[in-house]
A and B are shown apart, each in its own frame.
Chain A
Amino acid sequence: MAQLIRRAAALNKSLPAASFAARGLATASTSSITVETSLPFTGHNIDPPSRSVETSPQELLTFFRDMALMRRMEIAADSLYKAKLIRGFCHLYDGQEAVCVGMEAAINRKDCIITAYRDHCIFLGRGGTLLEAFAELMGRKDGCSKGKGGSMHFYKKEGGFYGGHGIVGAQVPLGCGLAFAQKYSKDESVTFAMYGDGAANQGQLFEALNMAALWDLPAILVCENNHYGMGTAEWRAAKSPAYYKRGDYVPGLKVDGMDALAVKQACKFAKEHALKNGPIILEMDTYRYHGHSMSDPGSTYRTRDEISGVRQERDPIERIRKLVLAHDLATEKELKDTEKEVRKEVDEAIAQAKESPMPDPSELFSNVYAKGLGTESFGADRKEVRTVLP
């Protein structure tokens, strides 16, 4: 055993970080592998796509690394919260990583994603850095929103990530607005408006869906159904928990949200559909290991057996790990080393974020108004000079 560890360590030293794909498969790294999704898709008013997903070793290894990074980030955020470095509300995404990673694999940065408050991992997927994420969580200047937004307000304009919203359901009409703008400028991209099973009961969702269908907007409504709206199980909040069917005249697709490849297939399918035919609803059947937020233990409304059961049978990272090992794309040791590497990355980012200073007091008043037409707004009451225009 010790010998193996030493050999693995030696291997690790000689292998640069991102050379997974180069290991013995230089010619085959982008070769195609066909994998069957764990479950078939269920369609509502639409023919579901095939269960066979095209992928590649490169992609599978990227999935593994990205999901391991996200998982590690969320666990680290848990410790930071308990150490009182993160305050307020902190909603963690561990268990749901496959949704985010599968979606990114199917789209590009011109497509828009908007989600609610469980947004840390989606931010990473859209190009956000660990430093920006941790600094924002700790309320520091280097955060993605300069420390003024917090956990629920991560945004990345260049990456097409529109947040990060605290009020349940309010982001869905915004998402339809993003789709409207995409249709207006005719740039062949789509918007994924994400929400949860709790938000699925909001009226504004149906209003937005009606409008999206009426005007054929390229909007894809993604319900991340983790089966609990905070402490209320879905069967206690919804007469019909078949969220993918709620669109009625809008087609829907139910997807196993713990299978990154199924998510990728569904999102690709949805994007093609939305560009031609207008909105579609995707229901991702997923699960969160943590409670609703850090102030929720997560065990008063569900049993620990249920949580550990899901972790054993459906964990997204384990699924990819098994796939990678089954197709002989990397060894057990290499995967463990990736995880260690990712852990180190996260620890370094946290250390760097801790060094980042708190925002300047003057930041209290900046970005309340934007400057426009050369006029200047001086905050609450303009006492001094009148505005001068160009």
Chain B
Amino acid sequence: MAASFGVSSAAAANAVKSPALSPPSLPVIRSEARPISCRVNKSRKAGKITTKAVAAQAENPASAASKPGHEVLLFEALREGLEEEMERDPRVCIFGEDVGHYGGSYKVSKGLADKYGDLRVLDTPIAENSFTGMAVGAAMTGLRPVVEGMNMGFLLLAFNQISDNCGMLHYTSGGQFTIPTVIRGPGGVGRQLGAEHSQRLESYFQSIPGIQMVACSTPYNAKGLMKAAIRSENPVVLFEHVLLYNLKERIPDEEYVVSLEEAEMVRPGEHVTILTYSRMRYHVMQAAKTLVNKGYDPEVIDIRSLKPFDLYTIGNSIKKTHKVLIVEECMRTGGIGASLTAAINENFNDYLDAPIVCLSSQDVPTPYAGTLEEWTVVQPGQIVTAVEQLCR
């Protein structure tokens, strides 16, 4: 093969043989302005955190005048995250279909193959089961592959590798091997893409022990979650959404990482807790505008972490509002909403004034026709109605 492999053998060899990472010195963003009470680890201190979800660097009076950060689209934010991690750690590599020369079907890995070579940004044949298995095998030796499913739905072909090998090897080997893979890709209902290309795999993967699942929804958390997922020693499945790739937002110039297990407070409120994630966050915020005009004060939380649930943030919210509405894109049966409902009922039953309402997509294959597709997923109007009923 005449391709250039962009990793020097010495660097890679050293990196592979000494997996211990020095702790990063960059700030971690917490999404809530509440002091932490630490009962588990005595070395942590209780302290206040910034209310804004922006990197808490020392104030520089000179830069205060100009607007901080730079504007990116969500797919560019993902790419920035990937690129920064690949720069930082030579063990990070990408496996996927058309990620290299083509630049990624959603341009997430554009330019990376030119920069890092064909071995680090590997164009695979159409063999999801095997290249996911290869990623797991490579991860067992210490590499940190990022596997891209061109559409999340295709990863159903790799289900065995994801559940048995990715998720369970750390346990069945008695802790000998860690599998620091990231499995990412776009999923969710798009614009008339048809049933097989509109799948929500979070409901299928959620029972797999040993993996973590996160869903990004803004350019800010997309970059932060991508970086955190790559640095995590656990296998992480990062769910992106086909329709959110072109969202624009201003993100910080400084390096930042967000926590994989934390939910994001989108809009604090008093009347009802609305839990959502990924694209439905935007439907909820649209409904929230209407609700505010009608005099309601919803608290909107983007749960972000689908496995494990951030019951701390969610619980504190429920203790305040006593009413819960879950808005998700998964299907009603066996979806994330179903599990979240069960978890909340189990843990916070005393705080609920009303049964939990869960709005999910219909239990049907996503139809092609535009109107039918619209009725499959939850629309803002339905959210408004549900809140009104809940808060009666």
Contacts and interface: CB of A to CB of B under 8 A. Distances in A.
B137 A384 contact: no
Contacts of A314: none
Nearest to A372: B233
Interface string B20-57: 00011000101000001111110010000000000000
B389 interface: no
Nearest to A178: B137
B12 A211 contact: no
Interface of A is mostly: loop
Contacts of A13: none
B177 A157 contact: yes
Give the size category of A's interface with B. Answer: 35 or more
Given A204-B133, A375-B232, A367 B170 contact: yes
A306 to B, nearest CB: 34
A229 interface: no
Q: Which of B13, B127, B164, B315 has the most CB of A within 10 A?
A: B127
A249 interface: no
Interface stretch (A80-88, A142-150, A257-265): A142-150
Interface stretch (B190-198, B259-267, B279-287, B374-382): B259-267
A388 interface: yes
A306 B50 CA distance: 76
Residue in A112, A173, A208, A371 whose Cβ sees the most chain B Cβ within 10 Å: A173
B246 interface: no
A193 to B, nearest CB: 9
Contact of A186 (B9, B135, B343): B9
Contact of A174 (B140, B172, B210): B140
B36 A385 contact: yes
Contacts of B210: 368-369
B203 interface: no
Interface stretch (A44-52, A97-105, A161-169): A161-169
B312 A382 contact: yes
Contacts of A381: 308-309, 311, 343, 347
Interface in B240-276: 257, 259-262
Interface in B51-110: 93
B317 interface: no
Contacts of A164: 172-173
Given A370-B178, A389-B259, A178 B343 contact: no
Given A185-B13, A210-B127, A174 B134 contact: yes
A157 B17 CA distance: 13
Interface in B164-178: 164-165, 169-178
A122 interface: no
B180 A372 contact: yes
A376 interface: yes
Contacts of B132: 173
Given A170-B165, A173-B131, A388 B36 contact: yes
Contact of A368 (B140, B171, B309): B171
Given A148-B172, A186-B9, A211-B134, A374 B16 contact: no
**Most interface-central of A164, A207, A369 (chain B CB within 10 A):** A369
B295 interface: no
A369 B234 contact: yes
A215 interface: yes
A153 B172 contact: yes
A386 B262 CA distance: 8
B224 to A, nearest CB: 12
B143 interface: yes
B12 A373 contact: no
A327 interface: no
A382 B308 contact: yes
A363 B363 CA distance: 38
A162 B140 contact: yes
Most chain B CB atoms below 10 A, which of A143, A156, A215? A215
B228 A373 contact: yes
Interface in B287-307: none
A5 interface: no
Nearest to B137: A177
Interface of A: 112, 114, 143-150, 153, 155-157, 162-167, 170, 172-178, 180-187, 203-204, 207-208, 210-211, 214-216, 366-390
Top-7 shortest CB links A-B: A177-B137, A173-B133, A372-B233, A390-B23, A174-B137, A145-B174, A177-B134
